[in-house]
Amino acid sequence: MSLDKDRVPSLKHQVKVKVGLIGDAQVGKTSLMVKYVQNVFDEEYTQTLGVHYLERKVVLGSTDVIFSIMDLGGQREFINMLPLVSEGAVAIVFLFDLTRPETLNSVKEWYRQARGFNDTAISILVGTKYDLFVDMDPKYQENVSRTAIMYAQVMDSPLIFCSTQSSINVQKIFKVVIAKAFNLTLKVPEYKQVGEPLLIYKSFGPSRPSSPRRQVHTPPPSS
Amino acid sequence: MSIRPNMLHDVGETSFEDVESTFTYKDDLEVPRLAPNSAASTTTENTTFSKDKRYSSHTELASEIEDDINYNSDFEEYQNGRDLPLAVDRRFRESSDQDELADLQEQLEEKLSLNLRDHKTAAGSKNKFSQYSSAGLSRPSLKDAVRQRRSMIDLATRRKGTGSIGNLNGQQSRQVPNSRSYMNLRPNAGRTLSYKSSMPSLMRFNHQDLLLEDDDNEDEDDDEVEDEDDEPYPYVPKIKRSYRDLVPRFTEKDKKVSAGDDFTYVAAEMDDDDNFNDDFEGVDDGFQFAENITHNKVPAFDTELHLSPSEYDIEHDDSLLTPQLHRKHFAVDVPFDSYREALHNHESSKQAAVVAAAANSRRSSKRVRARLKTIRQEIDLNTPMKRGKMKYNPREKRWDGNEDILRSFDNIENVDRRAFIIKNKRSRSPLKGSSSNQALGSGATAATSNSQHGKIVGKMKFDEQNLRWLRVDGAEEDPFQGITDLPPRSQSSPTKNVKFQTRDHPGNSLRSQSQLPFIRDDHGNRFISSESTRFHSLTTNPSTDPTYHITSKQLEKFYHEENKWSRKIGSWFILGDKSRDTGSADQSHTNLNDRSYMYEIRNMVISSARN
Amino acid sequence: MSCVSSVSSKRSRYDDSNIFEDVHDVSMQTPVKNCSKRHQKWSLSIATPATTPVGKSDGKRKTRSLDEDLISSPLKFKGDSNVLDVEFQELSLQKVLVSLSASDAASSPVFHIPELLHRIFSSLDHESLNHCSMVNPIWSAVASRIINKDLVVQQSSISGDLKIVELDDKVHPKTLTFYKLKNHKNFVENQLPRINLLRLDSLKFYISPIIPAVLNKAAVSNNLTKLTIAGNKNITDQEMVYLIMGLPNLIELDLRACSQISDVSIVSIVKHCPKLQSINLGRHENSHLITDLSIMALSELENLTTLGISGCDKISDVSIWQLYNKHSTRMVRLSINGCTQITDNSISDIVANNGFPNLTVLDIRNCALVRFKKLIRYRDWRSKYLTKPIHIHISDSMKEEFELQQQQLYKEFRTRIMNDLNKWVNEES
């Protein structure tokens, strides 16, 4: 009379995090998503005819973090699907193309409309195509960076410059999402110099100041 | 927390305590007709059981003795021959109804599925059989008839609607649901895009249980989604709302949301959870901090712009659009590569495999929804909608309702506004202009103030029309007189797939033209690729060039796409069939070669296969 | 009038039903002529709904059906099929008119479609059905179909007389229920001969004495699969053993509160009813009569899925382990309510380790259990990963402890989740 201990179920917790990617056409929303989920970067541009949806499961010790990432086609004809992407999202990532400053201007409108559906989501401002940006006129870089920071202030959102093509700051976007969502203290160093792939999250977005971290004791129940 | 039973229907008679509970009431007439513990309502009992709060309605040890007494008295009743309470009488009849209902259901299903269960009734068996056969044969046939008729109606209206077979051929018949053939690529091609009805409609959409179109072999993934509503992990820290509620800037409205049923549990949990409270300590301060930031200046930079006095000239140059002409002044200390993240972060995937194997075989680390899904809209983008406070404005194609939020951008807006003027007049990027203006501060206003009459700098005046600088006095002299212009370079040949090499990149990466706005030709000069509509922007000043620029690559893609589709559905149509191309409405009825019905057949086959 | 025309126009749709033959002997033959009369009766009975005896209308119909000359067989129902097929052809327009004028309630043509009516009536209680059966012939036929399938025999609460659904000659009930019947002599003499028990598959005695005549009759068909003898304090082991011997096809046996039944009966039941799947031995009295021995015996049953031993406080951990060994994957429902000798060492450990993977209902009310964490964890696991959740019933006295442990558990979970997330967020990527 003994139990077959192999049958002991292991309970995995799931944290589901919906992330919406929003921004002008061709700033690289889908690429960012695909890159993050499948680590594939395709040079070919594919227009998003509606909303793209991908899930990524990050498997941790006792927990699965499931990012369900939705990206809305940047063309205006799809903007009536905006609620689908923004509602219920834990974080809304506003993307702009670092090489096309007008896409940053559009963020204002995107931000307004997305907030209209979800004013509790963490917003994150992401500049894409850093690999191209980095070779551009430093003045231009400085201007864009500066304006982006101002935007980030207004939106109270972390600011990240990323390059999907060169794998820069892609993972960090989603780590910042989790850190902000669960109020974790992120220790990843920030990049604040013009010319660097900016990563500014400590002073933006909902967070507590660096109060002592919650003491975490781990009395794992038998499993 | 608790979940409605999925599989309980196969265990109809539920509680073992039915007798106790059924026999305990004393009231004669006041018994509610469907008391929760009636013997009949076993299934409902099941669910209420699992809700913690309902336990009181059932027998416990303490009250059992009392129950027992009642219970005994019940028996005495029967033994002594006392009359039954009417209520019990009634209740009982109900219960039999319930059983009967289930029975009927069962039977119905039995019959419909033609499941010839072995009925042991010797006498009735023959009758039964003929019954089955008749029912089984004629029922479906009736159904079929109805269905067929419906599709025939469809057929008729389709014909009528399109007027002629020629039309049918031209636009609709060849359209495959869900596809975009070249015809559809034309903007607003009469809304001929037809989407599968299985596509989730936006209006019906509920973000929690988003129905995704499952293409294939993803079936097993489905339960993952299904589970979602059940919230099997009430302890999983609720994200945003939970802490957001504690942040002071959020108004009562937010709190109301969080006070809803769904979150009370979590909230309550958090209250007595010291750790969690710790988490929220100082959130207040953080908020203050954030406030400060918005009013103070940029944290990372000082606000001074180090712009040379020659900034103005540079601005007039199209430096923004040809940034590569200017090499980097400052080198970032760290090489580009050092920012790279490690290749795909397969963090603990090894661990995952172990865990998954141990846990259960249904889950593996690969069970992520790795396939890209596209959700398309079912509703026309011109349909006005309302969602909460937001209203969809089909004309502007945007959602209105919270314009006030833009006020927070005013600071930036002010800066931009001046730039905007310049941009409009000079087709200059606003941002570039903005920063320079900002930098120049009041100095720039001089320039902009007389922008109405064109800018005048020194002796030069800007000609808005021709985008060139002319002498104010008009004494223009052309030193190049007499030299004929060279013919313009053809744009197409050198632009195709230029290899783009970033400074520190280890290898050459190929970027298609579509993704790269700046193309270098062989001599390293950059010119601007004309802005295609794909560079669509939300800015209030939409891109100006409405022309499509279809690259050869795209054309090739169209071609392949078209081929693909014609392979798939080609046999349903005779491409180039003259009767279809030129046929009139009259012809369509008589022409034997008309094969449009085949599409109908195909539809029927597909729809019946789906059912 | 418009309704009439629509009905008659619909007739053509049912022309196909020619191919259905009126094969069943239970087909109702209802004269239409008396409809108006019936309608009057109906309003009368409305006035005194509480006293309307069950099956009143059936009785009336029966007497009327004696007028053979009136029967033009307007309606023919096929057996006990849920899908009723009606031949409308023979229904003359005049007769339809009569029936329609009889009742406004039936004026809509919708209410002339038997299938629809059947669906609607299926959700009514018997009393309403009686009323409905008096509206018009179609309604009557449909309603009586439903009423007679499930016979209930009980003592009238008003007069003390025996009350039974008035029976036509051709009633084949599927279930027969006796409810608090004190004197069955009348039933056996007057009613029983008219009931054909060949199709009976469920027989229930609720606080009623066993009626051997019924059992004998039912046993002949070999069809009886469900037997309920609830609250019979008089039945002894000896009677039970005798009774059970004739029922080899029994699948469900409910012996709730039959307090004289002991291990002896159980062993005999196991021997004679090999197909048994579900047995309920719950009781308040004489709990000592059911011991581990019973469970040992029951665990020999091939198909046992449901076991109720509420209040059998002599049953110990051994039984549960035995069940685990023999029926690990089969157990679906288990009630050990009030089995105070069963401890965490058996039930909690086994269940929490997925020992009963198909268990869907576990009743541990009033048990001496204290370790809930694993159970909670298991429950959550089940609901998360498997399609079959498990329902654990706990009593109020356990609730506090249960919830406390649940909170602790969830807190641990939360801590771990936060830990994991924190680690991940900060790990080098």
Check pLDDT > 70 for residue B207: no
**Best of B21, B78, B121 to mutate (most C CBs within 10 Å, chain C):** B78
Q: Is B434 on the interface with A (CB under 8 A)?
A: yes
Q: Averaged over B171-180, what is the pLDDT?
A: 41
Confidence at residue C183, expressed as pLDDT on a 0 to 100 scale? 75
Q: Could you say which DSSP state residue B587 is in?
A: H
User: Given the DSSP bridges, would you call strands A63-72 and A159-161 parallel, antiparallel or unpaired?
Assistant: unpaired
Question: Which of the residues B381, B501, B537 would you substitute to probe the A interface, choosing the one with the greatest number of A C-beta atoms within 10 Å?
Answer: B537
Q: Report how far residue C373's alpha carbon sits from residue A222's, in angstroms, rounded to the nearest whole number.
A: 10
A157: CB partners within 8 A, 6+ apart: A94, A122, A123, A124, A125, A204, A205
Portion of chain B with pLDDT greater than 70, in percent? 15
Shortest Cα distance from B52 to chain C (angstroms)?
8
What are the residues facing C164 on neighbouring strands? C153
In this structure, the strands spanning A51-59 and B373-375 are antiparallel
Taking the CA atoms of residue B8, residue B11, residue B16 and residue B18 in that order, the dihedral angle to the nearest 10 degrees is 90
Cβ contacts of A169 on chain B, cutoff 8 Å: 339, 341
B17 CA: distance to closest CA in chain C (Å): 7
- Round to whole Å and give the CA distance between A157 and A210: 17
Residue B55 CA, chain-centre distance (Å), reads 41
Does residue A185 belong to the interface with chain B, where contact is any CB pair within 8 Å? no
* Residues C135-144: tens digit of each pLDDT: 777 787 777 7
Of C17, C360, C410, the CB nearest to B11: C360
Distance of alpha carbon B168 from alpha carbon B173, whole angstroms: 5
pLDDT at B500: 41
Three-class HEC string of B373-421: EEECCCCCCCCCCEECCEEEECCCCEEECCHHHHHHHHHHHHHHHHHHH
Q: Vertex C157, ends C154 and C160: CA angle to 5°? A: 80
| Cα dihedral: C190, C191, C195, C197 (round 10) | -100
pLDDT at position B23 over 60: no
Cα B32 from chain centroid? Answer: 46
The closest CB to that of A8, out of C354, C409, C416, belongs to C354
Q: Is the minimum CB–CB distance between B221 and chain C shorter than 8 Å?
A: no
Give pLDDT tens digits for A80-132: 888 888 888 999 999 999 999 889 888 888 998 888 888 889 999 999 999 98
Extract long-range pairs of C157-160: CB within 8 Å, 24+ residues apart. Answer: C157/B83, C157/B84, C157/B85, C157/B86, C157/B88, C157/B89, C158/B83, C158/B86, C158/C51, C160/B81, C160/B83
| Cα–Cα distance measured from residue C50 to residue C171, given in angstroms and rounded to the nearest whole number | 26
- State yes or no: pLDDT of B359 exceeds 80: no
Alpha-carbon distance values, A156 to A15, B139, B282, C50, C364 (Å):
24, 65, 18, 70, 52
Convert the pLDDT of each residue in C220-250 to its tens digit: 777 788 999 988 888 889 888 888 888 888 9
User: How large is the average pLDDT for residues B321-327?
Assistant: 39
Task: Compute the distance between CA of residue C404 and CA of residue C406 in angstroms, rounded to an integer.
Answer: 5
Min distance B322 CA to chain A CA atoms (Å): 8
Give the chain A residue nearest B373 (alpha carbons): A53
Does residue B344 belong to the interface with chain A, where contact is any CB pair within 8 Å?
A: yes
Residue B483's pLDDT is 66
Identify which of A140-144, B512-516, C204-208, C399-403 has the greatest average pLDDT. Answer: C399-403
Give residue C132's pLDDT.
Answer: 78
**B37, B22 contact by CB (below 8 A):** yes
Q: What is the pLDDT of residue B213?
A: 39
Sign of the C-alpha dihedral, residues B322, B326, B327, B330? negative
Highest mean pLDDT among A151-155, B225-229, B303-307, B505-509: A151-155
What's the mean pLDDT when you consider all of chain B? 48
| Pair type for strands C391-393 and C361-363 | parallel
The secondary structure of B541-568 as a DSSP string is S--S-------HHHHHHHHHHHHHHHHH
Least confident of B48-62, B426-440, C93-107, C364-378: B48-62
Residue B472, both tokens = 């104010």
**What are the Cα distances from residue B173, in Å, to B23, B198, B231?**
68, 20, 46
- Here the tokens at position C72 are 């033009």
d(CA C173, CA C171): 6
Band of residue B408 on the pLDDT scale cut at 50, 70, 90: confident
- For B188-198, how does the pLDDT look when each residue is reduced to its tens digit (9 = 90+)? 434 433 344 44
Taking the Cβ of residue B228 and every Cβ of chain A, the question of whether any pair is shorter than 8 Å is answered with: yes
- In C103-150, where does DSSP find H-type helix? 114-122, 126-132, 137-147
- Say if A59 is an interface residue toward chain C (CB within 8 Å): no
Q: What is the mean pLDDT of residues B352-381?
A: 52
pLDDT at B259 > cutoff 50: no
Cα three-residue angle C198-C203-C205, rounded to 5 degrees: 145
Among B130-139, B365-374, C79-88, the range scoring the smallest mean pLDDT is C79-88
Distance, CA of A50 to CA of A208 (rounded, Å): 37
Nearest CA in chain B to C17: B138
Q: Average of pLDDT values for B440-462?
A: 51
Q: Does A153 touch chain C (CB under 8 A)?
A: no
* pLDDT category of residue A3 using cuts at 50, 70 and 90: low
Q: Does residue B520 carry a pLDDT above 50? A: no
State how far the Cα of B338 lies from the Cα of C321, in Å rounded to an integer.
61
Element of type H or E holding A126: strand A122-128
| In the predicted structure, residue B255 carries a pLDDT above the cut 80 | no
B317-334 mean pLDDT: 42
Which contiguous run of DSSP H or E holds residue B157? Answer: helix B124-162
Under 8 Å CB-to-CB from C291, ≥6 apart: which residues? Answer: C263, C312, C314, C315
pLDDT at B137 over 50: no
Of B16, B96, B128, the CB nearest to C335: B16
pLDDT of res. B83: 40
pLDDT for res A89: 92
Residue B325 at interface with chain A, using a CB cutoff of 8 Å = yes
Distance from CA of A190 to the nearest CA of B (A): 10
- Cβ-based contacts of B331 with chain A (< 8 Å): 195
Q: Which domains does chain A have, with CATH numbers?
A: 13-200 (3.40.50.300)
Pairwise CB contact (< 8 Å): C412 & A220: yes
Give the total residue count for chain B: 611
Which residues in chain A have Cβ-Cβ distances shorter than 8 Å to B282?
208-209, 211
pLDDT at B486 (0 to 100): 61
Q: Which of B101-115, B351-365, C38-52, C313-327 has the lowest mean pLDDT?
A: C38-52
**Burial class of residue B289, CB neighbours in 10 A (0-12, 13-18, 19+):** middle
**Cβ contacts of A222 on chain C, cutoff 8 Å:** 374
Q: How confident is the model at residue B487 (pLDDT cuts 50, 70, 90)?
A: low
| Between B8 and A189, residue with greater pLDDT | A189
SS3 B449: helix
Do C83 and B94 count as a contact with CB atoms less than 8 A apart?
Answer: no
Say if residues B200 and B210 touch (Cβ distance below 8 Å). yes
| All partners of chain A with 3 or more CB pairs under 8 angstroms | B, C
Among B55, B62, B236, beta carbon nearest to C399: B55
Share of chain A above pLDDT 70, in %: 88
Q: Is B142 on the interface with C (CB under 8 A)?
A: yes
User: Higher pLDDT residue, B438 or B343?
Assistant: B343
User: In residues, how long is chain A?
Assistant: 223
| Contact between chains at B343 and A39 (C-beta distance less than 8 A) | yes
Could you give the ipTM of this predicted complex? 0.82
pLDDT digits (tens, 9 = 90+) for A185-218: 888 888 888 888 999 988 887 765 444 333 333 3
Which whole number is the average pLDDT over B279-290? 35
Range with lowest mean pLDDT among A59-73, B38-52, C181-195: B38-52
CB contact under 8 A, B101 and C17: no
pLDDT score for B429: 40
C321, two tokens: 């382990």
Query: Which of A90, A175, A207 is the best residue to mutate to test the C interface, defined by the most C CB atoms within 10 Å of its own CB?
Result: A175
Task: Pick from A47, A135, A180 the residue to mutate for testing the B interface (most B CBs within 10 Å).
Answer: A135
Lowest mean pLDDT among A17-31, A184-198, C160-174: C160-174
Q: Does B14 touch chain A (CB under 8 A)?
A: no
Specify the pLDDT at position A159. Answer: 93
Check CB contact of B207 with chain A, cutoff 8 Å: yes
Q: Has residue B123 got a pLDDT over 70?
A: no
Q: CA distances (Å), B506 to each of A95, B337, B501, B522, C44, in order? A: 27, 9, 9, 21, 98
Q: Do A223 and C418 touch (CB under 8 A)?
A: no
In this predicted structure, the answer to whether residue B529 has a pLDDT above a threshold of 80 is: no
End-to-end CA distance of chain A: 21
Mutation for A interface: C410, C417, C423, C427, most A CBs within 10 A = C417
What's the rounded mean pLDDT across residues C5-28? Answer: 34
Give me the pLDDT at residue A144, please.
87
Q: Give the β-pairing of C278-280 and B499-500.
A: unpaired
